[in-house]
Amino acid sequence: MLSTVAAAVLAMSAINPLSEPQVDIAPDYVTVEVRTVNGSGCPAGTAAVAAAPDRTAFTVTYSQFLAQAGAASEPTDFRKNCQLALELSYPQGFTFGVTQADYRGFAHLQAGAVGMEQGNYYFQGMSPTSRKSHTYTGPLSDNWQATDSTEWGAIVYAPCGEQRLFNINTELRVSAGTSTGTSFMVMDSTDSNVSTTYHFSWKRC
């Protein structure tokens, strides 16, 4: 037979489990539109966004986001960046944060070369998240994937009842180092597009 204390603990755990924070169901609709685009990695017309059908994430797709170094590369090619300001529309009574960002791509790095991806995001008028970087060293000629996750208690939500642009900053860098030949990084190997997926956390206001 369970003791009174043990039974009380189990009852409290059932009411407020710590391991699985309760997340509200996503709203009926979500749309995402690009308002401004700046950066050498995303010239006008080369970045697009789309919300997932289940409204749990949205994907940013680029078509000219490539950094390279070595050989005949231009001096400015080693670093490419992109800053997007997105406007999200969804029903009143909801707000959202981002729990995870998935970056995918392809890297061709000669021996002695180094590639890096980093990114952060923030709501208009609020502090940016810390930049998280992922480094890859040559020799490497393969797909790569990087994930930035946020603990549940640290998720930053948009203020309820306010329309705030959601800003995304991403960067690719390639250093030739001691290598010879050309090294480069992009974010998708199958269709030459760079795709980054941001996962929502929804809650009711």
Tokens of residue 104, six digits: 């995918």
pTM of the full predicted structure? 0.79
Burial class (CB in 10 A: 0-12, 13-18, 19+), 113: buried
DSSP state of 177: T
Report the C-alpha dihedral over residues 26, 164, 160, 197, rounded to 10 degrees: 30
* 3 has pLDDT over 50: no
**Tokens 């009926």 appear where?**
28
Q: Which residue has the higher pLDDT, 85 or 45?
A: 85
Q: Cβ neighbours of residue 15 under 8 Å, at least 6 residues apart?
A: none
| CATH code of domain 27-204 | 2.60.120
Tokens of residue 131, six digits: 């930049």
pLDDT band of 24, cuts 50, 70, 90: low
Instruction: Render pLDDT for 85-142 as a digit per residue (tens, 0 to 9).
Output: 999 999 999 999 988 889 888 999 999 999 999 988 899 999 877 788 999 999 999 9
Whether the CB-CB separation of 68 and 174 falls below 8 Å is answered with yes
Whether the CB-CB separation of 66 and 81 falls below 8 Å is answered with no
The pLDDT of residue 150 is 82
The pLDDT of residue 1 is 40
